[in-house]
Amino acid sequence: MVTGKISHFACAANFLRGRKCIFCGSFRVLRTARGYVKCRHCSKSKSLAKLQREIEILKGFYQLQPAYRLAQDLSVDAKVVTRVYQRLREALFHVTELEGGKLKGEIELDEAYFGGRRKGRRGRGAAGKSIVFGLLEREGRVYTKVVEHLTAQELMRHIQARTRKGSVYYTDAFRGYQSLRRFGKHHVVSHQHTFVNRRTRNHINGIEGFWSYAKHILYNYRGVSKYHFPMYLKEIEYRFNHRRENLFKRFLKVYFGYVSP
Ligand SMILES: [Zn+2]
């Protein structure tokens, strides 16, 4: 299990004690006789017991705990944990699509295959896999898209939608990138010579680093269906893009929606 820093959870202390409004961040709250925290600023109210349980579940999400195991640890129904996980994942899915503008500067492009290769179920081949197209701005964010087919047309559509024209692109020798030079400067990275080119900027190590980060997290979740995969992928993209910040705090914000992301 991946554990988070305890200090990251400190931001939840006032919410857990019922001193601060989870929806707007105001301290002008009062406790009702029925155990609710009522906000005098935004006039929303919430059961403190329920809020505390949801925050505990969000801690587990932050720590990448599988839902069934967290349910056991907290002695709650697995459905309760799953509901919170799904709600946050859906919110993260939309937030990642809305965040930031177009990628710019030096951009690494690459494709990867995920899933479809579970033990004891051989012979499925690439059919069960999800194809992901990834765009990474160096020293910046990553953007991912699950695609049906790796056609030049489809790749160019995403490149045009998600990157600024005139950027500097780094890709492998895949033919789908052939028309890229009409959109910006295009460097083709030869995989056999990656180590030679380490001193130059001609590599796609950044996006490859993201693929291993994603595979590490998915391994932790043990088998994600192809249907649910896009949702998990966006969660990972969000974690990666905010990895230098207090992710737990961000999850609280996105989940309760009290501050726009
Ligand atoms: Zn409030």
- pLDDT single digits (tens) 174-223: 889 999 999 999 999 877 655 555 567 888 899 999 999 999 999 888 77
Q: Residue 26 C-alpha to ligand 1 middle, in angstroms?
A: 5
Mean pLDDT of the chain: 88
Distance 247 CA to ligand 1 centre (A): 22
DSSP H stretches of helix in the chain: 13-16, 48-62, 67-74, 78-98, 152-162, 205-221, 229-241, 247-256
- pLDDT over threshold 70, residue 235: yes
Q: Which residues, in sequence order, are bridge partners of residue 145? A: 133
Secondary-structure percent of the chain, ordered helix, strand, coil, rounded to 5: 50, 15, 35
pLDDT digits (tens, 9 = 90+) for 84-110: 999 999 999 999 988 878 999 999 999
- Which tops the pLDDT comparison, 119 or 63? 63
What spacing in Å lies between the alpha carbon of 29 and ligand 1's midpoint?
7
In the chain, the domains with their CATH numbers are 6-98+244-256 (no CATH), 106-117+128-223 (3.30.420.10)
Q: How far does the centroid of ligand 1 lie from the alpha carbon of residue 240, in Å?
A: 30
* Percentage of the residues of the chain whose pLDDT score is greater than 90: 73
pLDDT computed for residue 124 by the predictor: 41
Q: How confident is the model at residue 226 (pLDDT cuts 50, 70, 90)?
A: confident
Q: How far is the centre of ligand 1, averaged over its atoms, from the C-alpha of 84 (Å)?
A: 21
Instruction: Compute, in angstroms, the gap from residue 158 CA to the centroid of ligand 1.
Output: 39
Could you tell me the distance, in angstroms and rounded to a whole number, from the CA of residue 53 to the centre of ligand 1? 19
How much distance in Å is there from the Cα of 45 to the middle of ligand 1?
A: 8
Count CB-CB contacts under 10 A for residue 168: 15
